[in-house]
């Protein structure tokens, strides 16, 4: 039963926050408040309306960070669009907004038995401690609730919704070892820390993104060692720069993340040999701290735009903080691919920042 409760509450838990390592991390100008954030069937939702709804959150978070302010506004905008769509559909059908979901669910009919069985097989059958007949009603209620949550999305697909709210853009240099085409339309600058478990978790996501957009995305790695909580991160970053000098950054990068609980000096030297580096040359580079300024420059570049936690990704100038799911990258990337390139704008370069 605990497992079922976990599944039923999973989506809510995910909505509460994103995983990240953190070292520690203004109000909008008056003219911005009159801007239209979205139009729903020709009816405007203004930035001022959004800010009136999020003022308590703004006060509690003291959100002077443009990215945080955008996130708060964006979440509230989705809620206000949902409210307006339900209200408009309710008016059309002659029912209160909450009645729209009920009507939509009736139109869908009962949850098919095959969906209930499939959910049980996927989540409980292997456990062997719950029979389908014991928890069938709970599974059916859960699947019905999931359907109910889909109703606003279906209404949004039918309506004419234009979102005009734009994310702030940060001007971050795309300097560092990279994967993907040099002329890719999308450049993701990743600020990472070799001792950060969430950075390690994000590796698979980055690989998914590169696999989905092999011609359109380039990933650039930059260092953000969180010295206060990860004392071995800076030496590991400097060691990785020494590996880059020998053209073996990514092989060494992978070694560090595979063994990120063992990043002492002897470990770093051993991984160099394992990665096929010239060990004598590598040790000389590491001992003299040849790339300490490079690592510090990356750290300062992150701080200059307010980034102080890892992992952090700047996607064509748009900040995504924490170990986000691949879908969040897809959303930004697809929007960027659909956006006409500004005159004279280089591939993958941010237009301004932060704005």
Distances (CA, A) of 316 to 13, 187, 216, 221, 337: 29, 5, 12, 14, 10
CATH of the domain at 184: 3.40.30.10
Spatial separation of the C-alpha atoms in residues 5 and 157, rounded to whole Å? 31
> Do 158 and 252 fall within a single domain?
no
Is 62 inside a domain boundary? yes
Question: Which tens digits make up the pLDDT trace of 261-283?
Answer: 999 999 999 999 999 999 999 99
> Do 210 and 302 fall within a single domain?
yes
> Do 46 and 185 fall within a single domain?
no
Spatial separation of the C-alpha atoms in residues 203 and 17, rounded to whole Å? 19
Is 284 inside a domain boundary? yes
> Do 186 and 148 fall within a single domain?
no
Structure tokens at 114: 């095959």
Q: So what's the pLDDT on residue 341?
A: 65
> Looking at 124, 140, 166, which one is the last position of a domain?
166
Q: What is the average pLDDT across 105-109?
A: 89
Is 7 inside a domain boundary? no
Q: So what's the pLDDT on residue 105?
A: 87
Question: Which tens digits make up the pLDDT trace of 19-36?
Answer: 778 765 444 444 455 689
> Do 194 and 326 fall within a single domain?
yes
- Report the run of H or E that residue 38 belongs to, with start and end: strand 36-40
> Do 217 and 68 fall within a single domain?
no
pLDDT over 50 at 314, yes or no: yes
Rg of the chain over all Cα atoms, to the nearest angstrom: 24
Is 11 inside a domain boundary? no
Domain that includes residue 110, residue range: 26-166
> Looking at 166, 195, 214, which one is the last position of a domain?
166
Structure tokens at 79: 């809620």
Is 355 inside a domain boundary? no
* pTM listed for this prediction: 0.70
pLDDT over 50 at 66, yes or no: yes
CATH of the domain at 65: 1.10.4030.10
Spatial separation of the C-alpha atoms in residues 23 and 225, rounded to whole Å? 9
Spatial separation of the C-alpha atoms in residues 168 and 300, rounded to whole Å? 20
- Residues 6+ away with beta carbon under 8 Å from 168: 66, 67, 69, 70, 318, 319, 353, 354, 355
Is 18 inside a domain boundary? no
Q: What is the DSSP string of 187-216?
A: EEEEEE-TT-HHHHHHHHHHHHHHHH-TTT
> Do 234 and 150 fall within a single domain?
no
Reference 193, options 219, 228, 221, 226; nearest CA is: 226
Percent of the chain with pLDDT over 70: 85
| Cβ–Cβ under 8 Å, residues 155 and 341 | no
Is 57 inside a domain boundary? yes
Reference 264, options 293, 298, 303, 235; nearest CA is: 235
> Do 204 and 270 fall within a single domain?
yes
pLDDT over 80 at 304, yes or no: yes
Task: State the total domains in the chain.
Answer: 2
Question: Which tens digits make up the pLDDT trace of 322-353?
Answer: 999 999 999 999 999 998 765 445 445 444 44
> Do 154 and 199 fall within a single domain?
no
User: Please, which pLDDT band fits residue 126 given cuts at 50, 70 and 90?
Assistant: confident
> Do 60 and 114 fall within a single domain?
yes
> Do 71 and 192 fall within a single domain?
no
> Looking at 121, 141, 166, which one is the last position of a domain?
166
- Greater confidence (72 vs 15) lies with 72
> Do 69 and 186 fall within a single domain?
no
Is 350 inside a domain boundary? no
């Amino acid at each position: 039963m605990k497992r079922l409760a976990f599944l039923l509450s999973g989506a809510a838990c995910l909505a509460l926050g994103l995983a990240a390592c953190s070292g520690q991390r203004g109000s909008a100008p008056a003219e911005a408040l009159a801007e239209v954030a979205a139009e729903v069937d020709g009816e405007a939702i203004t930035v001022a309306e959004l800010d009136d709804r999020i003022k308590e959150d703004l006060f509690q978070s003291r959100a002077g960070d443009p990215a945080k302010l955008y996130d708060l506004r964006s979440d509230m905008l989705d809620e206000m669009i949902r409210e307006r769509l339900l209200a408009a559909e309710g008016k059309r059908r002659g029912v209160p907004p909450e009645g729209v979901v009920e009507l939509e669910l009736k139109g869908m009919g009962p949850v098919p038995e095959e969906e209930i069985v499939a959910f049980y097989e996927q989540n409980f059958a292997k456990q062997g401690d719950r029979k389908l007949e014991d928890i069938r009603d709970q599974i059916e209620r859960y699947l019905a609730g999931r359907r109910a949550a889909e109703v606003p999305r279906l209404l949004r697909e039918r309506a004419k919704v234009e979102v005009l709210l734009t994310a702030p853009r940060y001007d971050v240099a795309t300097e560092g070892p990279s994967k993907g085409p040099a002329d890719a339309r999308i450049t993701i600058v990743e600020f990472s820390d070799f001792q950060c478990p969430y950075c390690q978790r994000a590796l698979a996501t980055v690989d998914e993104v590169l696999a989905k957009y092999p011609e359109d995305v380039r990933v650039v790695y930059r260092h953000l060692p969180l010295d206060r909580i990860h004392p071995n991160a800076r030496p590991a970053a400097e060691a990785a720069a020494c590996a880059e000098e020998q053209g073996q950054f990514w092989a060494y990068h992978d070694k560090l993340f595979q063994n990120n609980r063992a990043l002492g000096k002897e470990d770093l030297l051993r991984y160099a040999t394992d990665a096929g580096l010239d060990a004598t040359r590598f040790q000389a580079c590491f001992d003299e701290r040849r790339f300490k300024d490079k690592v510090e420059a990356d750290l300062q570049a992150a701080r200059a735009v307010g980034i102080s936690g890892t992992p952090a990704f700047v996607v064509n100038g748009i900040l995504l903080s924490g170990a986000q799911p691949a879908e969040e990258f897809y959303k930004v990337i697809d929007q960027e691919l659909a956006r006409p390139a500004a005159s004279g704008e280089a591939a993958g370069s941010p237009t301004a920042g932060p704005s």
